[in-house]
Amino acid sequence: MSSKPYFSHFLITSAIFTASFAFGVDAPPQVVQQFLGKYCLECHDADTQKGDRAFDKFVLPLKAVPDLIEAKDIIDQITLKEMPPKKADQPTEEERLAVLRALREATVAARGLIESTGSRTVMRRLSSREYENTLATLFGRRVDTLGLTADFPKEKTAQHMDTIGRSLVTSGFLVDQYFQSANRLVETRLGKPATQPKSWHFNSHFIQYEELSGSHKSAFNYRYLNLYEQPNTDTRQGGYGHIEDFKQGVPVSGLYDLEVEATAMHRDTHYDPAIFGIDFSEPFILGVVPGDVTKGHIHYPQAIEPLLASTVVPDNTPTTFKFRVWLEAGQTPRFIFPNGPFESRASVVTINKRYKDEFKADVGSSGVGRAHILLEGKLPHIRISDIKINGPVAEESGSVEEVAVFGKGGFKEDRAVEQLDAFAEKAYRRPLTDADKAPIRALYEKRIAEKIAPRQAALDALKLILCSPSFLYLSEITTDPVKDLKPYDLATRLSFALWAEPPDAALLAAAKSGKLTQDAELKKQVQRMIADDRISGFVNGFLDSWLNLRDLGGMPPPRETFRYYYAEDLPASMRAEVRMFFGDMLKGNGSVAQFIDSDYTFVDKKLAKLYDLPEQKTLRLADGFKKVSIKGNEHRGGLLGMAGVLTVSANGVETSPVTRGVWVSENMLGIQPPPPPDVVPAIDADVSGATTIRDRLAKHRADNACAECHRKIDPLGFSLESFDPVGRWRKSYPQGKNNKKPAPLVDASGEFPSGETYQDFASFKKIIRETREDLVTKHLIRQLLTYTTGRLMEPSDDFVIDELHEALKKKGLGLNTLVEQCLMSEIFRSR
């Protein structure tokens, strides 16, 4: 069937006639009216409007978009057997099929009669992550050391998507930020003065702040720079090691060589390992991050501190390590201990209490003195004794940025405008028009007339390019009334969809040839791009949007009760598992049904321990992630068995079938529950552990205003009560501190409104896979099209989505196939 937004009168009439004839029933309008009158109007007429729905005026044919939306809602409810309610009279299977067919055919007919309110992508700007990715691609080097978007307004999302045109608004403040970012990038990378390499050497005066300073002076006279804990702590007692005599940082942005002499101390400590909360079977790791004394306390976390380098440090033997790192002007290297102890201060207090008889020195009343431990004890830490810095290091063929902007020969005054135009063509992602070239030439010539040096004039014109709407926006040269995207527009949309960055040479060549709009070439490019490592731009961005992984860590659990969550930096491992699973399915064309349940996943040592898998005994941190079988493991399997999903769908403090049920409904099934009525009070938390959440929900549902929605939401969340707020399996709820009663057991059973019952997590997933797989798949298609086109899907898009779904089922539901077909669809290839 054609997917164009129109149908001939013959096709419409024929479809309705065929539906009526096939079931031997009355014409569709009568079928629907009879069904609604018999099974629905008692609760959903103008007077009752249960669930805010009234169907007494619902008639065929559908004449407007609200009618179409209401029809789709009725279809969903009948398909799920959630309407009529279980306790009401039920239609026969023949009646159910007849009304579904009538409604579906009516929506098909309406497709040609109802014009979409949009179904077009609003010209959108680059999101903040796309902006930084694009600049890194254009300039040939990472830009995260600059923090170009650190002061940008927080990105607005629509249904968790950060690619939606209507949400990516541009304010006057943001325009000013774009100018400041362009100015900073160009001047620090291309406008920096020529600087001869210089060397710095530090082997003393390693002052550390706060409580560390006195003990370090007493014990070492500041001879060593010691790292006592990981950066992710509240106390910050030795999480960042800075060079006191180099706080001013490097003079210009560039590559710098570091030589660091370091030693892993006391990994074999006899102190109780539980005091430190780390795995002493793993070697200590040393990391390097930038710091800037003008951006905040040099000893505390800062907004801009990407990891520049890291290495394993041998035990007890001073070893010299060499790193080549990129530092921006004013940045100084700082040293971190990523797998170090958690909260060193608490460790010192505990050691002073438990092992006080081992020390000759008087500990004192506070219990926090550490000089005697440094001299006599075995406090685990990394000791740095010597640091050398040299740079900036000259790059053989000129700086990467110079080559990226001006070509291999660098800036040429006699070819300045030509060089700028060539860069602008890459930045605008299409051939330039005369209108594109004019302002670039005009600004360059204006600056020359003002007696500015030609190179600086070119740099100013470069800033103009980086502030142009043609760069900042995914602007389209496809003009009305043409709907199908022209080759260069299609190349840009495809590249930002799959890589979150501009098209490469191969994709632009396909656009230039005109072949990209042909099915064979488009399919070839899609598969090439999926096979490329840059596909991580899609995997990460899409999962952040579809599953809302962007918010992982936004509501963290209490540090005192979930210490391991912080000590082992579990959010990073949680994200990695979901991404690797999705990426594996994408490249291997695994069935999307495995998002519901699967017999494998990816874990590192930390997750293997959290999941209590046998691999926790064999994996090392250095092994990274490994694909593991979980066949027969009823605690894991599919997205809902992954800690990242279970954590982001909880509130950090406790779990709730409502919170997780809403998450499953919205993110897995694509059904948006209505918001709770304003008059309904929230469910009170019970921190004492005296009641279970099921008990409190039962009382909550006694309110009729609540029961209608909760009977649909709660069954989607009850099975997930077997997981605590960070996705660890449990059989009972935690007890309050003063509660001496037996811990209440988790009841993970439930019943769907359609009558299916489950006893546990495994049987819950079985029902979802057997009865709601189509909903999951359709929602995934819808989300993928939303993310890649930059617009929310509308009812008029559902017909293409249905066609894609039917075709996908015939091909085995492969994720690679799904992505390919979505990107070759009419929706993706249209304005």
CATH of the domain at 284: 2.60.120
Same domain, 660 and 721: yes
In this structure, are residues 627 and 602 in contact, taking their beta carbons and an 8 Å threshold? yes
Of 500, 531, 562, the position where a domain reaches its end is 531
HEC readout, 409-474 = CCCCHHHHHHHHHHHHHHHHCCCCCHHHHHHHHHHHHHHHHCCCCHHHHHHHHHHHHHCCHHHHEC
Same domain, 496 and 597: no
Comparing 136-140, 270-274, 375-379, 695-699, which segment has the lowest mean pLDDT? 695-699
Model confidence at 12: pLDDT above 60: no
Same domain, 767 and 777: no
Fill in the DSSP letter of residue 358: G
82 within domain boundaries: yes
Quote the CA–CA distance of 654 and 337 in Å, as a whole number.
31
Quote the CA–CA distance of 314 and 583 in Å, as a whole number.
34
500 within domain boundaries: yes
Which tens digit of pLDDT belongs to each residue from 126-151? 999 999 999 999 999 999 999 999 99
Quote the CA–CA distance of 831 and 828 in Å, as a whole number.
8
Model confidence at 1: pLDDT above 50: no
Same domain, 596 and 704: yes
Quote the CA–CA distance of 277 and 563 in Å, as a whole number.
8
In this structure, are residues 378 and 270 in contact, taking their beta carbons and an 8 Å threshold? yes
What pLDDT is recorded for position 687? 42
Residue range(s) defining the domain that contains residue 763: 549-672+689-771
Same domain, 355 and 211: yes
Quote the CA–CA distance of 426 and 430 in Å, as a whole number.
7
The mean pLDDT of the chain is: 87
What pLDDT is recorded for position 478? 63
pLDDT grade, residue 743 (50/70/90)?
confident
pLDDT grade, residue 21 (50/70/90)?
very low
At 355, list the tokens.
């092992």
76 within domain boundaries: yes
What pLDDT is recorded for position 813? 96
What pLDDT is recorded for position 350? 93
Comparing 129-138, 691-700, 822-831, which segment has the lowest mean pLDDT? 691-700
**Tokens 């307004």 sit on residue:** 153
Mean pLDDT in residue range 351-367:
81
- The rounded Cα 757 to chain-centroid distance in angstroms is 33
At 695, list the tokens.
């008990």
167 within domain boundaries: no
pLDDT grade, residue 6 (50/70/90)?
very low
124 within domain boundaries: no
599 within domain boundaries: yes
Comparing 24-38, 198-212, 713-727, 806-820, which segment has the lowest mean pLDDT? 24-38
Same domain, 497 and 354: no
Model confidence at 831: pLDDT above 60: yes
| Contacts with 13 (C-beta within 8 Å, 6 or more apart), sequence order | none
Same domain, 819 and 738: no
Model confidence at 575: pLDDT above 70: yes
Which residues face 287 on adjacent strands? 310, 336
Quote the CA–CA distance of 455 and 443 in Å, as a whole number.
13
| Contacts with 204 (C-beta within 8 Å, 6 or more apart), sequence order | 222, 223
Quote the CA–CA distance of 532 and 238 in Å, as a whole number.
40
Q: How far is CA 548 from CA 36, 235, 291, 763, 778, in A?
A: 37, 30, 30, 25, 18
| Contacts with 457 (C-beta within 8 Å, 6 or more apart), sequence order | 416, 443, 444, 447, 448
- Identify the sign of the CA torsion 636, 642, 645, 646: positive
Of 391, 414, 446, the position where a domain reaches its end is 391
**Tokens 């070119």 sit on residue:** 458
Which tens digit of pLDDT belongs to each residue from 74-96? 887 787 777 787 778 888 888 88
In this structure, are residues 661 and 714 in contact, taking their beta carbons and an 8 Å threshold? yes
Q: Regarding predicted confidence, which is higher, 513 or 565?
A: 513
Which tens digit of pLDDT belongs to each residue from 586-640? 999 999 999 999 999 999 999 999 999 999 999 999 999 999 999 999 999 999 9
Same domain, 635 and 559: yes
- The secondary element (H helix, E strand) that includes residue 13 is helix 9-23
What total of structural domains would you count in the chain?
5
- The secondary element (H helix, E strand) that includes residue 627 is strand 626-629
- The secondary element (H helix, E strand) that includes residue 242 is none
Tell me which amino acid residue 594 is.
Q
346 within domain boundaries: yes
Of 365, 391, 417, the position where a domain reaches its end is 391
Among candidate residues 246, 12, 174, 250, the one with its CA nearest the CA of residue 108: 12
- The secondary element (H helix, E strand) that includes residue 254 is strand 254-265
Same domain, 752 and 780: no
Same domain, 314 and 207: yes
What pLDDT is recorded for position 49? 58
Q: What SS3 class is residue 769? A: helix
Quote the CA–CA distance of 573 and 624 in Å, as a whole number.
10
Mean pLDDT in residue range 473-486:
76
Same domain, 505 and 625: no
- The secondary element (H helix, E strand) that includes residue 28 is helix 28-39
What pLDDT is recorded for position 43? 79
What pLDDT is recorded for position 18? 35
Quote the CA–CA distance of 782 and 797 in Å, as a whole number.
9
- State the Cα torsion 161-164-166-169 to the nearest 10°: 80
In this structure, are residues 423 and 405 in contact, taking their beta carbons and an 8 Å threshold? yes
Fill in the DSSP letter of residue 568: T
Same domain, 521 and 607: no
Model confidence at 648: pLDDT above 90: yes
Q: Where are the beta strands (DSSP E) in 316-414?
A: 319-327, 332-336, 381-391
446 within domain boundaries: no
